[in-house]
Structure 1
Amino acid sequence: MRQVHPEFAPRPGLSRGEMESLQADVAAAATFEDDFDFDPASVSLDSPAVDAPLVAGIDQAFLDDVAVSAVVVFRGGTVVERTAAVSPLDLPYVPGLLSFREGGPIIDALESLDSDPDLLVFDGSGRIHFRQAGLATHMGVVFDTPSIGVAKSLLCGTPKTDTDGRPEGWQTPIVANRSVDSVGDHEATSETVIGYAYQSRQYDSRPIVNPLYVSPGHRLSAETAVELIANLSGDYKLPEPTRQADAYADEAKASYRT
């Protein structure tokens, strides 16, 4: 993959204020409406591989002061490419500034791909973010590629209805609250839907599974983002692209350690 907007790429040495200002610029450049060429129904683990768009799952593992960034690319339910990059970490984890810690290493991995994915799925937030510019938004804008953030916890915003103990397939909108800034043309009112809580799985044999928090990163609406993640869900809580990226990151980390 090639960076389309390298001017938005995270870079080391920025102050907190400069990082937040760059996030605001990223959010202003992002599109939270559908702008893509593929049929959403074709984004499915059951789609014939020959007809399906390319979907990349991205996740990371960490070892001391390096990140192992893994990308697994699917066409339908078939893995067509895997790649990983090992990159130094320049920052500690700071809530709301994750893309400045993890974004550079992810760029290294994405740039090593031979394929050019139609959709990027990240383990992290997109529009569900204090400045509407989480990891999926930041990377989506840098590569100008439709992207989705899938987080296991809620960074900000408010679910419209209670999320506890919901059945598989259930969803509810996440609306902005006072912790979410309006940026550019993107308002953040109590009626602004910035993502969805999505109950991907429940198991009779296990305690209650919490929902995922799905938000558009770039060039997708919140409604389409959660539809696509539902299509990409298999037998596990996480959508299959990021679940396999997580496993491959651990595999690559083990190889690097030895």
Structure 2
Amino acid sequence: MKKVDLNNMKLINELTNIQNELLPKVILENSFDVNEIKTIAGVDLAYWDVNNTTYGTCCIVMIDYSTKEVVEKVYSYGEINVPYISGFLAFRELPLVLEAAKKLSNEPDLYMFDGNGYLHYRHMGIATHASMYLKKPTIGVAKSYLKIQGVDSIMPKNIKGSYTNIVINNEIYGRTLRTTENVKPIFISCGNWIDIETSTEIVLNCINNMSRLPIPVRLADIETHKIRKQLIENDLGG
């Protein structure tokens, strides 16, 4: 596959149109009974460059929602053909995400992404975009704030579980959530087929004393660094 030139405005317009066409399929309501969630899968990606070529690996770590124990881990890797540009992350990452998801022995009840969902210029962050293909509820969990239309996030109180809504044009895009006292907050947003209250509840239920990040995302992040190191050492993907 040829590398995609995102400096081509025609292509950017095409990708924007795809996002706009998918938006009506986004439903910020629960499509499930929260009490029936048994497994959650964390998703993250890591990259590296070899000879001017970018490679990536996507790791998915599924946990038991009740015990927080790891149920399964899978990964995919390959050449990245879409350069990074803000607002179009899903087009860069989705191929590897879907390839990794196919390797899961069992489908998780919910996916949690290291990235944004509804908190996006066109409400189509990776967590939301991926839901269209994974056919499961999704949540976006970001470590840094995506500033949209000049709107700053408001710092929540220094109490675990406190939050402030990210409101743009009178619409809630996501939340700035304090998951641990005396530690920087994270930024969560609905992906799809889930509401913001349930997203907040699930994220907080997946927090332990190891990190400000929910367990599925933290474990997926750790796994991507581990797999990337192995692939580089074995000259795979490069």
Q: TM-score range by the shorter chain?
A: 0.7 to 0.9
Q: 1:70 is matched by which residue type in structure 2? A: C
- Provide the secondary structure at the position in 2 that maps to 1:257: helix
The count of residues paired between Structure 1 and Structure 2 equals 218
Paired residue for 1:91, among 82, 90, 95? Answer: 82
| Structure 1 contact 159–172 (Cα < 8 Å) conserved | no
Equivalent residue number for residue 62 of structure 1: 47
Distance in 2 between residues matched to 1:237 and 1:136, nearest whole Å: 19
**Correspondence 1:47-196 to 2 at 5 A:** 53-64=38-49, 65-75=54-64, 76=66, 77-157=68-148, 158=151, 162-163=154-155, 166-176=158-168, 190-196=169-175
Q: Among 208, 216, 219, which residue is 1:241 paired with?
A: 216
3-state DSSP class of the match of 1:234? coil
Q: Secondary structure at the match of 2:120?
A: coil
1:187 aligns with: none
Q: Please list the CA deviations of residues 183-208 of structure 1 after superposition, one character each: whole Å capped at 9, or x if unmatched.
A: xxxxxxx32112111011134xxxxx
Give the 3-state SS of the residue equivalent to 1:101 in structure 2.
Answer: helix
One-letter amino acid of the counterpart of residue 101, structure 1? R
Match of 1:212 among 186, 190, 193: 186
Residue of structure 2 equivalent to 1:27: 23
Instruction: Output the aligned Cα RMSD.
Output: 2.0
1:37 CA drift (Å): 3.5
In the TM superposition, what whole-angstrom CA distance separates every residue of 1:114-169 from its partner, at most 9, and x where no partner exists?
Answer: 11010000000000000011000000122221000001122135467x30663322
SS at match of 2:61: strand
Residue 230 of structure 1: which of 201, 204, 219 is its match? 204
TM-score, normalising length: structure 1: 0.79
TM-score scaled by length of structure 2: 0.86
User: Runs of at least 4 residues of structure 1 off by over 3 A?
Assistant: 11-14, 156-160
Q: Is the CA contact (8 Å cut-off) linking 1:128 and 1:156 kept in structure 2?
A: no
Q: 1:165 to 1:222 in 2, by over 3 A?
A: closer
Correspondence for 1:255 among 217, 220, 230:
230
Deviations 1:200-230 (A, max 9, x none): 1134xxxxx3211100001011121111111
| Structure 1 residues 103-124: Cα deviation after superposition (integer angstroms, max 9, x where no partner) | 1111111111111010000000
Structure 2 distance, partners of 1:164, 1:230, is 15
Say whether the 8 Å CA contact 2:156–2:178 is kept in structure 1.
no
8 Å contact kept, 2:4–2:83: no
Shift of 1:62: 0.8
In structure 2, runs of 5+ residues without a counterpart are 234-238
Gaps of at least 5 residues in structure 1 are 1-10, 43-51, 177-189, 204-208
Q: Could you tell me which amino acid in structure 1 is paired with residue 123 of structure 2?
A: Q
